[in-house]
Structures are given as structure tokens and as C-alpha cells.
Structure 1
Amino acid sequence: MILAIPERMHAVLLTGHGGPNKLEYHTDVKVPRPAKGEVLVRVAAAAVNNTDINTRIGWYSKKVSSDTQAGSAGGFAEVDNEDASWSGVPLRFPLIQGADCCGYIVAVGEGVSPTRVGQRVLIRNMLRAPVDHQNYQCWTYGSDCNGSFAQYTVAPDADTWSVSSDWSDIELASIPCSYSTAELMMQRAGVNANDVVLITGASGGVGSAAVQLAKCRGARVIAITSNSKRSQILELGADDVIDRNDNLLERLEKNSVTVVIDLVGGTAWPPLLDVLKIGGRYATSGAIAGPLVELDLRTLYLKDLTFYGCTWQDDNVFQTLINYIETDRIRPLVSKHYSLSDIALAQEDFLSKKHVGKLVLVPPRETHHEDS
């Protein structure tokens, strides 16, 4: 089923690994059409995530050992294009990035109920349908396939979730990537009301989501961020805030927390294991301060610690988020929104780390046929 859909749209094309100059705003990109089992979504809002920048600069390549900031201006000279993606499979350029999407279904492909047209939806960022819902396999929306930095996007019907909420499109768009990542970490680490949870990078999208989701479980939350963001993180529900420049072992006793939710990595990593109790759990899904850390294996095994690497998501992760939204158990903090054409500025602001929560891009509502 196809309604009156324009032939061309505005979109941001990533043309290769490198600096912001690799992001090209075009006004004549062909609007995709939904294939069998797919839906066509008019994008209402799309949030900015660290993975967008990491993908652009080639940070996922194992040849890169620096933090994200080091390559933000021009990428990394040492990138191996063969493994600079989530899956380790070379990216296909040009690519429309964007892991977060709130939008409206405007057409459906063969085998999809036409009653879906008009639904407001969120697209699951870890697509399960293309790999037949196999464990530890998924496609990454906006990386393994085109994403939401455009006026229109296609996605599998099974990965496109309708949502009933009075939230704005901008608020909903901030949910899929950050909150599903945080929820996955909560589930993997088994966070519960008996836990004391330490969260690094707590002012970012995933970190601020983790604060809320840990509090939903009744845990005590200690957040690490800058002092300038202390009040906002406390308002999100954190019980205490530690400045990221403080000596962690001077602020917390050894063996004093049960779970570490780590999004930062880098040189400040070793004390995270010192503050974990015997039998503690450590979960990570990011390393913005650097991917290489110094691990004393004696600490790992003598303290009976459990480590969780968190990427692949089972179906119940996104279902849980939809339930949280529709029952108002969480509420995202959106710092600012931008026009899609201002994506380079939005990423620059994202990298400055002066904000708390999410930055969101809004594509133009109408398509204008122009030369790009």
C-alpha cells in the first residue's frame, strides 16, 4: 500500500569516515519505498547519539585506541575501513545515519496491515526482524542500514512500535538508542532494590536514562558527572553525585557498591573495580574516554566479579521501554533541538558535553525540490 508520497526528500548523507565535512545535507534524495514486511515512516524527530559520531570518525576500528573527542574534528588517520562499524563489516557509503526515530507510518509494504498507516511510532534501534530474532544477532538501524536523519525512512514492521503518549515527538525521539541501551544494562546486571549502583557519564543520554531506570527498580544511585550538572542529575533521581575529576577512592569506600554501569572507560577505569563489592557486577556499553583500560585480572577473579558487555537486545527490552513511556514512569530530558540541516552544529554541541540529556534533530515537514 502506497499513499501520495513525494519522490524526493531532504536527508543527511555520510559519505565516508572523517570529520563533519563528511556529513552532506541533500534535498533530492530518493524517498525509499517499503518492501515486503516493511513500513514507511515520516520522520518527525531524530536524536543525536554518540554512536553517530563514533561511526562517522571510524572509532569502532580496532586500530583506534584514542577517545572519541580526539577524532571528532577530522576522524582518525589509522582507521581500518574494513572493521570500522558495530558489526565489523565495512559500511556502505553514502549512508543515512540516525539511530533514534519518532515518526508516523505513511505507507506499508506487502504483508503489513494497512491499519498501521497513521500510527505514531518508535523504531527499535537494534533491528531483530532481519536476522529472524536470533540470539545475539541484530541489524543496527542507522549503521547496518539507513536510519532517521532524513524526512522518510523504512523499517521492519516487527521493529516499529506504536506508542500512545502525550509526550512530544522530540521527547519520544530521545528514547530508542539511549534508553534501550540503559535498560539492557539494567537487565543484564540484574539491578534491583537491594543494589547500590554507580553510573559513569551520568549526564549523557544513556547515563541519564540509567539513573532513571535504576531508580525505577528501587536501587540507590550514585552518579558521576561534572559538578556543574549536579542539580539536574539529582532532579532525575540520583541519590548522590560525584564530580568526574574527584578521586573516586576518596569519595567512596572500597567494596561499597554492588553494580557499576560504565559508559566512559579510559584512564580513570581501574578504581571502578576497587569500589565494587565482592561478587559485584560491572556492565559496559561505551568507552567515550578511551576503549583501552588497565585490568588487573587478580581483582576480577579474587573478588568474584561478573562483567557484562551490552549490545544485543532481546525483544523485552524495547517492550519494557514502551510500557515505561505509556505509564509515565520515565521522562527524558531534552536539552535542545535543531533543524536537520544543522546536524554539524548539533554534533559539535554534543561533543562539548555542556548539556544534560539529549539533543534532537527535526527534519523539515514539507519536501522542497532543490538542487543539493
Structure 2
Amino acid sequence: MTGLPQTMRAMRITRHGGPEVLEPAEVAVPVPQAGEVLVRVGAVALNNTDLWTREGAYGRPGDPEALSGWRGPLDFPRVQGADVSGRVVAVGAGVDDALLGRRVVVDPAIYDSEGPDARPVGLMGSERDGGYAEFVTAGANRAHDVTDSPLTDDQLATLPTAYGTALGMIERGGLREGETVLVSGASGGVGVALVQIARARGAKVLAISSGPKTDAVREAGAHEVLDRAKDLGEQVRAAAPGGVDVVLDVVAGDLLSDGLPWLREGGRWVVAGALGGYGVAFDVRRLYLHNAQVIGSAMHTPTHFGLLMDLAREAAVQPVIAGTYPLEEAPRAQERLARRDHVGKIVLRP
């Protein structure tokens, strides 16, 4: 790695806790192994998974209150950050030198196989070091060339987790043109992505948000914005008298418990988050008597991510940036993310 520094700035966690456990550190620049590339980070976007990984809030099978990372106990210290855009500055053995200098977006998922429909079983920033640093390594096959995209580094960095999760939900839910879709948490990163992609798919988009954020969610592409502070059932029935075809839900909790009857015959409820709580109860008769489906969706597959990168190259989606911070202000950026008073994505610039 001639010409590159030997050390770099990074923000690491050495234990679970609040924003104060994010600590600056001077660490060795990682060396790309065989089949890997080294990426100079241009931007790294924040996600709820950053908060939950730092807090250890994922729980474990049989012990939902256990401190845990995305898929189990963390190896500390850990550099956080799943969503990286940047440029390839070095390659490992067996990697084509043509990648050097190319602008890339990194697929942060660690998959259970190499197939196109592989499932994520780990995440950069949780199960391996991520992008809260000046450099990060990634598999060459996970570094997608977006050199010609008109999107900025900040915009590109917002795509992997939020838009990847959104596209995975939409694909698994089988959303079709002309269907009516209901999006929860529509002002967040995944929510805005769901609104934009569902609208681009030709769906009628109903979005749940709060009053002050209504205009921004509508600008993202929602046909109607429903106020979560009012009677949602009444609003859904007024906007979709025949019922909803697909619910794309990052809230769960009481929303799923109360809202299952909003689905029309054969409707699909896709869950990719639990902002409203993970304990859910509903009348199972509503599920089987109406051929409804409740579908879990964790991030994306390699196929989904390839489709997302096609959208990025064409700038077919326009990510909304809520704010940018220097790397050392990661604790403050995470505090802002936790307040949920913004629309769009928050980005760090190393």
C-alpha cells in the first residue's frame, strides 16, 4: 500500500452503552486480504442499527433482554458504520487493478452463502469493522462501482442499509404497480426510501408520519400522509376503502396488533423493524381466514443490492440528507438520530 498512511482516525466502541462509549482512536490502516479492496471513506451514513448495536439492544434467542450485537455478542473494540461510499485505493491478491480509483458503494451485509439470494447473517459495523474511519476493507465483490453516478458521496452513503432494507421489503412483499401500500415510520431513513421506491414502482403510497414532517414526506412521493397522532384506522379506511395491499412496517408493536384488519384479502404485512416494540399480539383468524401474510425482512439479498446500485447509477432515487457531521462528532450525530426530529439521513464525513 505504497503512499498510504500507516494509521488512521476511527471512532470505536469498547463496550455497550450510550453515545459516550463512542471514542476516537488512532488505529492501523487495515490491509486488504485476498479478494478484498481498501476503500478511502468519502462518507458514512448513520442507521438505527448503529444505535442498537452500540446499546446492545438486539437481544438473543431465548433472552430478548441480553446485550447483543446484530447477530450475537460483539468483539470489542468495534468500529461502527455500515453505510460507506468512497474510492478504492488498494486491492488485495486476486483483485483486478482496474478497481483502483473507482468510486464505490459497499454492500455491508455478511451473507450465509455466495448465491444471488443469500441471506444476511452479519453486518459491517457489528460483526466486522465498519466505516466510522478513514479507511475500511470490503470484499471486492461487495464494492459496487458507481463512478458515473451523479449522486454525491453523501447521497450514495445513505443507500446500503436504508434503501437496501426498503428494496428488500418491497421485493419480499411482492409490491406491484397499481397496488395500495402503507408505509410506517415514513420520515426516517428507511421510511423515505420506501416512499420513494414504492412511488417509482407505480403504487399508491399512504405514509404514516407526524404533523411537522408531513410536507417533507409528501415531497418524497407519498400520495397521502396519515397523522400518527390521530386515529390511524379511521384515516386508513378513508384513504383505502377497499383495504391495503401491502404494509411496509418498521414500527411493529401496537401498529401490527391493531392494523392487521386493514389488509385486503391476500394482503401482505412486511416487518423490518420494531421501533414500536417487539412484543406483538393479534387475532390469528384475521391472518388465515383472509389469506394474509406477515413477512419478516432483514435487509437485502445480493440480487436486491444489485438492483439498488442500478438505481444509484441512474439517480432514479434522490436520497434526502438531514445533516452532516465530521467523524469526531459521531456521538452528537447519534444523539440527533435518536431524537428522530429529522427527515432523511444523517451522514459523517471522515
Deviations 1:156-200 (A, max 9, x none): 000110102122111111111100000000100011112100000
The SS at the match of 1:349 is helix
Once the two structures are TM-superposed, the CA of residue 62 in structure 1 deviates from its matched residue by: 4.3
* 1:250 corresponds to 2:234: yes
The SS at the match of 2:254 is coil
Q: 100, 111, 114: which one pairs with 1:132?
A: 114
Deviations 1:274-320 (A, max 9, x none): 11112100101101121111222122112211121111532221111
Once the two structures are TM-superposed, the CA of residue 268 in structure 1 deviates from its matched residue by: 3.3
The SS at the match of 1:342 is helix
1:260-279 matched pairs, under 5 angstroms: 260-279=247-266
1:183 alignment partner AA: L
Whole-angstrom CA distance in 2 between matches of 1:267 and 1:200 = 12
1:101-112 matched pairs, under 5 angstroms: 101-112=84-95
Q: Contact (CA 8 Å) 2:257, 2:280: kept in 1 or not?
A: yes
Once the two structures are TM-superposed, the CA of residue 120 in structure 1 deviates from its matched residue by: 0.5
Whole-angstrom CA distance in 2 between matches of 1:126 and 1:357 = 22
Once the two structures are TM-superposed, the CA of residue 3 in structure 1 deviates from its matched residue by: 3.0
Q: Contact (CA 8 Å) 2:42, 2:84: kept in 1 or not?
A: yes
1:16 alignment partner AA: R
Residues 176 and 39 (structure 1), Cα distance of their counterparts in 2 relative to 1, 3 Å cut: same
2:139 alignment partner AA: P
Whole-angstrom CA distance in 2 between matches of 1:5 and 1:288 = 41
Partner in structure 2 of residue 80 of structure 1: 66
The SS at the match of 2:319 is coil
Once the two structures are TM-superposed, the CA of residue 59 in structure 1 deviates from its matched residue by: 1.2
2:133 alignment partner AA: A
1:132 alignment partner AA: E
Compare 163-172 and 33-42 and name the one that shifted more: 163-172
Q: Contact (CA 8 Å) 1:285, 1:310: kept in 2 or not?
A: yes
Partner in structure 2 of residue 346 of structure 1: 333
Compare 180-189 and 259-268 and name the one that shifted more: 259-268
Residues 162 and 290 (structure 1), Cα distance of their counterparts in 2 relative to 1, 3 Å cut: same
Whole-angstrom CA distance in 1 between matches of 2:256 and 2:32 = 45
Instruction: Give unmatched runs, 5+ long, in structure 1.
Output: 66-77, 364-372
Partner in structure 2 of residue 4 of structure 1: 3
Whole-angstrom CA distance in 1 between matches of 2:310 and 2:120 = 24
Partner in structure 1 of residue 106 of structure 2: 123
1:48 alignment partner AA: L
1:266-305 matched pairs, under 5 angstroms: 266-305=253-292
Q: What is the count of residue pairs matched by the alignment?
A: 345
Q: Contact (CA 8 Å) 1:336, 1:358: kept in 2 or not?
A: yes
Partner in structure 1 of residue 165 of structure 2: 181
Q: Contact (CA 8 Å) 2:70, 2:122: kept in 1 or not?
A: no
The SS at the match of 1:311 is coil
Whole-angstrom CA distance in 2 between matches of 1:314 and 1:48 = 20
Compare 311-320 and 52-61 and name the one that shifted more: 311-320
* 1:220 corresponds to 2:204: yes
The SS at the match of 1:191 is coil
* 1:359 corresponds to 2:327: no
* 1:191 corresponds to 2:175: yes
1:116 alignment partner AA: L
1:62-101 matched pairs, under 5 angstroms: 62=60, 79-81=65-67, 84-87=68-71, 89-101=72-84
Partner in structure 1 of residue 49 of structure 2: 51
Q: 38, 41, 64: which one pairs with 1:40?
A: 38
Q: Contact (CA 8 Å) 1:255, 1:274: kept in 2 or not?
A: no
Whole-angstrom CA distance in 1 between matches of 2:302 and 2:119 = 11
Once the two structures are TM-superposed, the CA of residue 140 in structure 1 deviates from its matched residue by: 1.2
Q: Contact (CA 8 Å) 1:63, 1:80: kept in 2 or not?
A: no
1:185 alignment partner AA: M
Q: Contact (CA 8 Å) 2:161, 2:299: kept in 1 or not?
A: no
Compare 55-64 and 177-186 and name the one that shifted more: 55-64
Once the two structures are TM-superposed, the CA of residue 255 in structure 1 deviates from its matched residue by: 5.3
Q: Contact (CA 8 Å) 2:109, 2:120: kept in 1 or not?
A: no
TM-score by length of 2: 0.94
Q: 227, 236, 246: which one pairs with 2:220?
A: 236
Percent sequence identity over matched residues? 38
1:148 alignment partner AA: G
Once the two structures are TM-superposed, the CA of residue 41 in structure 1 deviates from its matched residue by: 0.4
Compare 233-242 and 306-315 and name the one that shifted more: 306-315
Q: Contact (CA 8 Å) 1:104, 1:119: kept in 2 or not?
A: yes
* 1:13 corresponds to 2:25: no
1:98 alignment partner AA: G
Whole-angstrom CA distance in 1 between matches of 2:291 and 2:321 = 39
2:84 alignment partner AA: C
